[in-house]
Amino acid sequence: MKGYLGEFEELVLLTVAVLGDDAYGVSIKEDIEVRVKRSISIGALHSTIARLEDKGFLKSYLGGATQERGGRRKRYFQLTHGGKSALHDIRNLRNDLWKKSKVNLALNL
Amino acid sequence: MSVKKNINLPGWPKRFFEWYCGSAVAEDLAGDMEELFFQNLQKMSPFKARLKYSLQALTLIFSYGLNNRKRKYKLQHGSSSYHSFAMYRSYSKIAFRSLAKQKTFSIINIICLSVGMSIGLLALAVYVDVTTVDDFQANAVRIYRITTEVDDANEKIMYASSSAPLADRLRQDASGIEEVVQIAKDFNPEIIQSPNTAIPLQGYYAEQNFFSVFSFELIEGNPQQALAKPFSVVITESAAKKLFRDISVIGKVLEVKDKGYFEVTGVIKDHPRSHFYFEIIASYNTIAALEQQQKIQPTLQDWGPVTDHYIYVMLNNDKAPEDVEKVAKRIMSDQFKGEKLMVTPIMQGLRDIPMSELSNEIGLSWGYMSLLIFFFLAILVLLPACFNYTHIAIAHALKRAKEIGLRKVSGGESRHIFFQMVMETIILSVISLVGAVAIFMVIRAAFLDMVVQGSLSFDLEITPFTFTIFLLFAIFTGFLAGAFPAAYFSKLNPIETLRNTSQSGKLSKISIRKGLIVAQFTLSMVFILGVAIVAKQYRYAINYDLGFQKENILDIPLKGVDEKILRTELEKMTDVTSVSMSSSIPGNWTASSIMVRPPEKVDSLEVYQMFVDHNYIQNLEIELVAGSNFPLNSNGKEEYIVVNETFVKKAGLSNPFDALGKSFIVDEGKELSVIGVVKDFNFMPLREAINSFFFRNDPSMFNFANVKLKSQDMQLTLSNIERSWNKISDQKFESRFLDDELDASLVSFKSMVKIFGFLGAIAITISCLGLLAVVISAAEGRLREMSLRKIFGASVTNLAFSLSKGFLKLIVIAVMIATPFTYILFDQFFLRMIFYRASIGFTEIAISVLLLFTLVLVIIGSQTLKVAKINPVDTLKYE
C-alpha cells in the first residue's frame, strides 16, 4: 500500500471521480458540502488537493478561458492510476475488515 | 442576478491575494473565489459575501495548497536568490558592453555626472566635517552647554553664553552634575616679544577642570593643575612654536599687553577639529584678579548681560539633561523676577553645537541654514546631470528595445529588466565618481579659500568614511538617473518591440525629453543672468561716486607713532602732496556710532563719527556746502564738529546754514558746535544708506595717516616713505591705498560672482552636453529623411534649419521662463540687501540671452550641418 489515505483525502478523491470531467475547485467544494452537509474552507480543500497531487493521486490541467470568473481559467482535476489504486487499496482494506468483524455489523432495523 | 452583477469584489483583499501569490500560477484559485463570491451574492448580503471572500483569501494564503505552488515556482524559475551571482556578472558584462558600444554618449554621460556630482561631494565633505567636529571628546554625550534665550518682547535672541553666577548656583542646587566648567571668551592677549613687537593670540579663560571634561591632550604640564593659579596659561603646540620656536616651554613667562605677566603651565597637543577655537587658555581665576586690579570690566558677579561667560556641564552617566535644565530655569527666573526680560536657559548637547546658529558663539559654527543652502545648490547641479542621462537613455530606447523584448520573451520579468537597467546606470555613476573626486580636489582648494579663515578649520580630507559616503552618493545618483528609463524599459511590450513597429509610444517620450531640455536651459539661464547681474553690481560699486577722493591716497596705520613727527617727515618728501590724519577709513565698517543731543533737548540722535584733522576734508576732496573746515587745532582741545547733510535733516534743521554755530552734547557733557556742513558721502559701504555723521577733531584718536601722493614711480615713493618711517619707529611699516581697501570690502561680491560663475559654468556644461547628445541622436535618426530631402533639392541651410528649429523653440521657452524668474529673484531678494544698487537693465538680459543662444547655435549648428552636408548616396545605398 502506497501511503496512507486520510478520510478527507478519500472523500476528495471520490468526489473528483464522481464529478468526472467537471472536477474543479468550486464544484468539488459544493459537491462535498451537499453530500456530507458540512461547510469546508477553500484553503483546506486546496491544501488537501495539493497533498494528493504531491502523492501522485491526482493530476490537473488548466481549462479554457471562461466568461464568468473574470475570464480566469479553471483548473480541472483527474484521478491518476495511483489515485485509483489507492482508492482500491482503501476499499479492500475496509472490505477485509468488514468481513473479519466478529461483531455483527448489521443494524437490523 | 443581473442586478447584483454590478457589485464588485472587495478591492484590497483581492489585490493582497494577487500580490501574495506573486508569479506563482494561482489564477484558478482566484477564479474559484470569484465564482463563489457571485454565488454567495445570491444567498446573502454583499457585505457578508465580501467578508466571506476575504476569509477565503486568508485561508488560502495560509494554506499548504498555495504555499506549495509558490515553492515549486521558485524551484523551477530560479528567483534572485538562486542564480544571483551569475546574473550580476552577466548584467555588468552587458552594461560594460553597451557603454563601450555607445562611446560618445557614455563619455558625455560620464562628464556630466562627474561635474554634477562634484558639488554634491563638496557638500557631503563639508557635512561630514561639520558632524565629526569634537569627535575626539570622550565625554561628548554627557557634556551640555547652557545657552540662553533672551526674550525682550520685541525679539528673541539665542545666546551661546549665559550668566557667570549661574555656574556656582548650579554646583550648589543641581544634583547629578559631575563637573561644571566656566569659560570666558575674550582672552585675546598681545604677547610682547620685544619693546616694539607683539604677537596677538586668540583664546579663552577656563576653569581648572577644563581638561578633565574636554579631551585635549597636554604634551607638557599637569592637566589637573595647569589652570589652578591665577595668571597661568596653557598654550597650544603651534602657538608655542610661534612664540618660542620650541614646545618645552613650561615655566616661561609671557608679558601680555595691558594685563601683566603670565606663566606657561602647559602645552596642548594640536587637536582635531573642535567647536572651540583657541591658541591660548588662561586660568579662570585670572579674571577675578584682573577685575580687582581694574584692568578689565567686572562681569563675574553680574547676572545681567548674558554675553560674556560660557557654562559647560558634564552630567553623571544616568542623568537626564532636562532635570538640570529645570533647575537652571528656576534659578534664572528667580533672578530675573519682575523684569521685562524673559531669560531662559536651554541645555545644548556638545554634538549639536556645530550645526546651531546662536549669537555670540564661542568658537565657530557652520550653521544649519548654510548647510541646507549648500545641499540645495548641490542638488540643483546634480539634477540636470541626471536628466541628461535620462533623456540620452530614452533617446536610445529604440536601440535597446529589441534586447529588452528578447529578454522578456525568454523569461525576464519586469523587475529583472528594471534591476539590470538601474545597475547599468550605477556602474556609469561609479565610473563618474572618479572624475567627480578629481574635480572635487580642485574646487576644494578654492572653496577653502573662500570660506572665512579658520571657520571650524575644515580640512575636507577624503577619509575611508567620507569615501564610503561618496560611493553611496554615486550609487544614489545612479539610481536617481536610471530609475526613470529603467521603469520605462521594464514596461516595454515584447511583442511590439520585436514586431519592428518602432514608432509606437514615441510621443510621450518626446514630450518628456523636451521638458527636460527646457528645465536644464532654464537653470543655465538663471545662472548666466545671475552672474551678469552680480557682475554689474560689482562694477557699479567700484565706479560709484562715494563723495570723496579715493585714488592715490595711501593710508598708513600710525601704530603709536606721534602724528606730528610723522607729518613733518612725510611733508618733507616731494611726491607727497598733502597729509591728513583720521581715526578710521571711510567706506568700510569701521566708523563708530554715539548718541548725541542738543543742549536744550532730551531726545538724542544716533550719529556716526570720525576723528580727523584740519587737512582731512580738503585732502579727500569732500565738498563743504556751508561753513568752514576745522581750524588748525593747536592746543588739542576739541571745540567743533563738521556734520553731514543727513545730520542737519535728522536734527530737524531746515538748511545747512541754520546748523552753523549750533551746539550738541557728545560724550556725556562735552559741548561741541557745528563749524561746517559737508555734502553727504558714503562713509559706510554701499550696502548701507547714508546716516547722520560728523567729523570731530581730537588728535588723540588718530589711527591713520592719509597721504596724498603724486608720483611717477609708486614703487620708489613707497620705499622712500618706508625709509622715513623706519627712522621714527621700530614697528613694521604697513600701508594700503584707499581704493584697494575699498575694493577689498567688495570681496563678498567677488565671491558671489565666483560662486555663481562656477555653478553657472557647471550647469551650462551639463545642459550643453545633454543638448549635444540629444541633437546627435535626433540627427542620426533623421539621416535617411535628410538624404531624401537633399535628393529632392533641399539646400544645406534648409536642412539645418529644419533640424534645428525644434530645439531652438525649446531654448526660447527656457529663456522666457528664466528671465522673469531671475529678474524677480534678484530684484526682490538679493539686491534688496544693498541700499545703493544698480538696477537690472536690458543690457544684462540681452547679453545673457545672446551668450546662451551663441552656445546653443554652435552646438546645434555643428551637428545639423554635419548631417545636412552628408552625401545622400552614403546613407541610402544600403537600403
Among B836, B770, B825, smallest CA distance to B527 is for B825
**pLDDT digit string, tens, across residues B392-446:** 887 777 678 888 888 888 877 788 888 888 989 999 999 999 999 999 998 888 8
Beta bridge partners of B314: B143, B179
**C-alpha–C-alpha distance, residues A29 and B748, integer Å:** 83
Among B815, B804, B802, smallest CA distance to B845 is for B815
Q: Which residues contact B866 (CB under 8 A, 6 or more apart)?
A: B779
- Interface list for A 13-72 with B (CB within 8 A): 24-26, 29, 41-51, 54, 62, 66, 68-70, 72
| Range scoring the smallest mean pLDDT among B90-99, B358-367, B620-629 | B358-367
Q: Which residues contact B655 (CB under 8 A, 6 or more apart)?
A: B626, B648
State residue B454's pLDDT score.
Answer: 47
Rg of chain B taking only CA atoms, in angstroms: 38
DSSP assignments along A31-81, one per residue: HHHHHH-----HHHHHHHHHHHHHHTSEEEEE----SSGGGPPPEEEEE-H
Residue of higher predicted confidence among B488 and B600: B488
Q: Which residues of A touch B36 (CB under 8 A)?
A: 26, 29, 42
What average pLDDT does range B106-113 have in this prediction?
A: 91
Whether residue A74 and residue B30 make contact (CB cut-off 8 A), yes or no, is: no
Q: Which residues of A touch B65 (CB under 8 A)?
A: 43, 45-50
What average pLDDT does range A24-36 have in this prediction?
A: 90
Q: Cell numbers of B728, please?
A: 621714527
What average pLDDT does range B522-536 have in this prediction?
A: 84
| Range scoring the smallest mean pLDDT among B107-121, B443-457, B720-734 | B443-457
**C-alpha–C-alpha distance, residues A9 and A28, integer Å:** 12
Q: Which residues contact B738 (CB under 8 A, 6 or more apart)?
A: B550, B551, B553, B554, B555, B585, B587, B706
pLDDT at B501 over 60: no
SS3 labels along B355-370 = HCCCECCCCCCCCHHH
State residue B680's pLDDT score.
Answer: 86
Using 50, 70 and 90 to split pLDDT, how confident is the model at B636? low
| Range scoring the smallest mean pLDDT among B47-61, B271-285, B409-423, B584-598 | B584-598
What average pLDDT does range B64-81 have in this prediction?
A: 71
Whether residue A69 and residue B69 make contact (CB cut-off 8 A), yes or no, is: no
Which member of A43, A62, A69 has the closest CB to residue B60? A43
H helices of B491-581, in order, are 494-498, 506-543, 563-571
What average pLDDT does range B265-284 have in this prediction?
A: 86
What average pLDDT does range B135-156 have in this prediction?
A: 84
ipTM of the complex: 0.82
H helices of B782-870, in order, are 783-791, 796-825, 842-868
**pLDDT digit string, tens, across residues B574-586:** 888 888 888 888 8
| Range scoring the smallest mean pLDDT among B16-30, B385-399, B497-511, B807-821 | B497-511
pLDDT at A50 over 50: yes
**C-alpha–C-alpha distance, residues B264 and B281, integer Å:** 10
State residue B528's pLDDT score.
Answer: 84
pTM of the model: 0.65
pLDDT at B788 over 60: yes
Residue of higher predicted confidence among B570 and B829: B570
pLDDT at B453 over 60: no
Beta bridge partners of B694: B609, B643
Which of A73-77, B458-462, B471-475 reaches the highest mean pLDDT? B471-475
State residue B829's pLDDT score.
Answer: 73
Whether residue A46 and residue B60 make contact (CB cut-off 8 A), yes or no, is: yes
For A66, which residue in chain B has the nearest alpha carbon? Answer: B31
Question: How does the average pLDDT of chain B come out, rounded?
Answer: 82
State residue B451's pLDDT score.
Answer: 66
Beta bridge partners of B220: B267
Contact B181, B310 (CB under 8 A): no
Residue of higher predicted confidence among B668 and B779: B779
Within a 10 A sphere around the Cβ of B766, how many other Cβ atoms?
Answer: 28
Within a 10 A sphere around the Cβ of A1, how many other Cβ atoms?
Answer: 11
- Give A66 to chain B, closest Cα distance, Å: 9
Q: Which amino acid is at B147?
A: T
What average pLDDT does range B256-277 have in this prediction?
A: 86
Q: Which residues of B touch A50 (CB under 8 A)?
A: 63-65, 68-69
Residue of higher predicted confidence among B471 and B369: B471
State residue B477's pLDDT score.
Answer: 93
State residue B83's pLDDT score.
Answer: 54
- Give A103 to chain B, closest Cα distance, Å: 40
What are phi and psi for residue B861, nearest 5 degrees? -60, -45
What average pLDDT does range B39-43 have in this prediction?
A: 84
Q: Which residues of B touch A75 (CB under 8 A)?
A: 28
State residue B753's pLDDT score.
Answer: 75
- The residue among B63, B69, B70 with the most chain A CBs within 10 A of its CB, best to mutate, is B63
Quote the percentage of chain B above a pLDDT of 70.
93
The verdict on A104 touching B (C-beta cutoff 8 Å) is no
**pLDDT digit string, tens, across residues B808-837:** 888 899 989 988 888 888 877 766 667 777
Whether residue B59 and residue A70 make contact (CB cut-off 8 A), yes or no, is: no
| Range scoring the smallest mean pLDDT among B373-387, B681-695, B813-827 | B681-695
**C-alpha–C-alpha distance, residues B54 and B718, integer Å:** 95
What are phi and psi for residue B869, nearest 5 degrees? -85, -10
For B52, which residue in chain A has the nearest alpha carbon? Answer: A41
Residue of higher predicted confidence among B878 and B257: B257
What average pLDDT does range B452-469 have in this prediction?
A: 73
**C-alpha–C-alpha distance, residues B556 and B734, integer Å:** 6
State residue B469's pLDDT score.
Answer: 92
Among B244, B145, B160, B161, smallest CA distance to B233 is for B244
pLDDT at B507 over 70: no
What average pLDDT does range B74-97 have in this prediction?
A: 72
pLDDT at B503 over 60: no
Contact A27, B28 (CB under 8 A): no
What average pLDDT does range A51-64 have in this prediction?
A: 87
Using 50, 70 and 90 to split pLDDT, how confident is the model at B4? very low
Indicate the DSSP class of residue B840. Answer: P
Beta bridge partners of B144: B313, B349
For A71, which residue in chain B has the nearest alpha carbon? Answer: B31
State residue B38's pLDDT score.
Answer: 85
Q: Cell numbers of B57, please?
A: 483569501
pLDDT at B851 over 70: yes
Q: Which residues contact B582 (CB under 8 A, 6 or more apart)?
A: B610, B611, B612, B613, B616, B702, B703, B704, B706
**C-alpha–C-alpha distance, residues B444 and B450, integer Å:** 10
pLDDT at B476 over 90: yes
What are phi and psi for residue B264, nearest 5 degrees? -80, 120
State residue B709's pLDDT score.
Answer: 84
